Amino acid sequence: MKAFKYRLYPTKTQSEKLDWTLARCCELYNAALQERKEAWNGCRRPPNFYDPEWRSEHARDYHISFAEQCRWLTQIRKEIRPDYQHIGSHVLQNVLHRVDKAFAAFFRRVAAGSTPGYPRYQSKTHYDSLCFPDSAGWKLKENRLRITGLGTIKVKLHREIQGTIKTCIIKREGENWYVVLSCEVEVQPRLPYTDLAVGIDLGLLHFATLSTGDTIENPRYLRRREKKLKAVQQALSRKKRGSHRRRKAARLVGKCHRKVANPRQDFLHKESRILVDCYETIVFEDLRPRNMSKRPQPRQDKDGTFLPNGAAAKGGLNKSINDAGWASFIRMVRVKAESAGQSTVLAVNPHKTSQVCSACHKEGPHKDLSERTHTCVHCGIVLDRDVNAALNILRLGLSHQAAQVA
């Protein structure tokens, strides 16, 4: 399955109608959730739904199924809420399906022994997509999307759709609308077959350094637009809760975030595509940026006075880490490699990859972040610091791979 996302350009009336539809779907979601919750609570709350034995015995007595809710929906649409007749029945059933899925996930995790949160009510501002689970109710013809009861909406088809379309999702992001088409695409073996392996060091100076010596430069979208974002966020925090001005300011913050996030996604997609198309085996360091973003330990001298611990410098570092989005980059490479069907993506422990020499494999002294070149004290080789690390990562990855095969 592959998803294709396109921008929609509805007219004012159309986007109002879409908002109206989403509000109805949200109401239905919450009502269906409440119904299940109340059934579960019964006359009195049952002893403990985290107790597996009790649950397996009694769960059925309190359970309302998806099929039951669908039946009631038909009745409700006919007798109590005729406004719901303007929305396709499959779209509404999909809402009930989401509730069903939320509960299924909840019970699966309870069964697995964890204590998950109970499915929650959705707010009208956060419930922002509706799904056509099959081909009924919508039709895409050239750059026009036809939706029953809504008319035709202009679509910006910025790239070709592949495969057969299975589902159609209309999505609201801030004041923008999108259509997401999930398509079934056959895995195409990639040609020509290459046998190249590459190690990749993710860094701050360059977004990534390849063991071949190439670099991918860091686009600092966030830095550039950070000032603006900060200003609008401050403006938002000054506004009174629930006020009209606050809503307006929140919209602006959302817009600024999207202006950072969308070009970043685009950059990551393009670079990950190039990697997967060029290399057979791709080795990353297992960075876990989440761990790296932690605050540095405070340092104190003998009298208990606090010494500089580099928090400010690390703050700048953290910003770049989050800015760069390494984690989502690695994820994209993985996904693309999987659908290419041939590339292998490996992650290795990056411990000491900058100290060890990639030529003689001997360990050198610790390097400061500011030291940009690797000069080996044993064999005398001079390399760029990041290229040296990338070569080490590649070697580690290949030896792991060899060990797995053997």
Closest approach, Cβ 158 to Zn ion, in A, equals 49
386 is catalytic: yes
Q: Which neighbouring-strand residues pair with 146? A: 139, 152
The neighbour count for residue 73, using CB atoms within 10 Å, is: 20
Determine contact, residues 68/2, Cβ cutoff 8 Å. no
Closest approach, Cβ 392 to Zn ion, in A, equals 11
**Residue whose CB is less far from Zn ion, 116 or 380:** 380
142 is catalytic: no
Burial of 324 (C-beta count, 10 Å sphere; 0-12/13-18/19+): buried
The neighbour count for residue 181, using CB atoms within 10 Å, is: 21
**Residue whose CB is less far from Zn ion, 59 or 360:** 360
**Residue whose CB is less far from Zn ion, 57 or 363:** 363
**Residue whose CB is less far from Zn ion, 182 or 358:** 358
Residues that bind Zn ion (CB under 5 A): 357, 359-360, 376, 378-379
**Residue whose CB is less far from Zn ion, 128 or 386:** 386
323 is catalytic: no
CA dihedral 244, 246, 252, 256 (to 10 degrees): -160
Closest approach, Cβ 374 to Zn ion, in A, equals 9
Closest approach, Cβ 281 to Zn ion, in A, equals 24
**Residue whose CB is less far from Zn ion, 46 or 364:** 364
Q: Where are the beta strands (DSSP E) in 70-137?
A: 129-132
Among 100, 128, 271, 285, the active-site one is: 285
Task: Read off the tokens for 298.
Answer: 């405070």
Closest approach, Cβ 380 to Zn ion, in A, equals 7
Closest approach, Cβ 191 to Zn ion, in A, equals 39
Closest approach, Cβ 377 to Zn ion, in A, equals 8
Furthest-apart CA atoms within the chain: distance in Å = 85
Q: Which neighbouring-strand residues pair with 6? A: 179
**Residue whose CB is less far from Zn ion, 105 or 379:** 379
Q: Which neighbouring-strand residues pair with 65? A: none
CA dihedral 256, 257, 261, 263 (to 10 degrees): 0
Cα separation, 8 vs 167, in Å, equals: 16
Strand order in the sheet with 129-132: 129-132, 164-173, 176-184, 2-9, 151-156, 144-147, 138-141
Q: In 174-243, which ranges are continuous DSSP H helix?
A: 221-238
Helix (H) or strand (E) holding 5: strand 2-9
Which three-class secondary structure string do you get for 178-238?
Answer: EEEEEEECCCCCCCCCCCCEEEEEECCCCCEEECCCCEECCCCHHHHHHHHHHHHHHHHHH
Among residues 392, 355, 357, which one has the least CA distance to residue 378?
Answer: 357
Burial of 379 (C-beta count, 10 Å sphere; 0-12/13-18/19+): exposed
Antiparallel, parallel or unpaired: β 197-202 and 176-184: unpaired
**Residue whose CB is less far from Zn ion, 59 or 376:** 376
Among residues 124, 113, 101, which one has the least CA distance to residue 19?
Answer: 124
Cα separation, 381 vs 361, in Å, equals: 11
Closest approach, Cβ 388 to Zn ion, in A, equals 9
The residues carrying an active-site annotation are 201, 285, 386
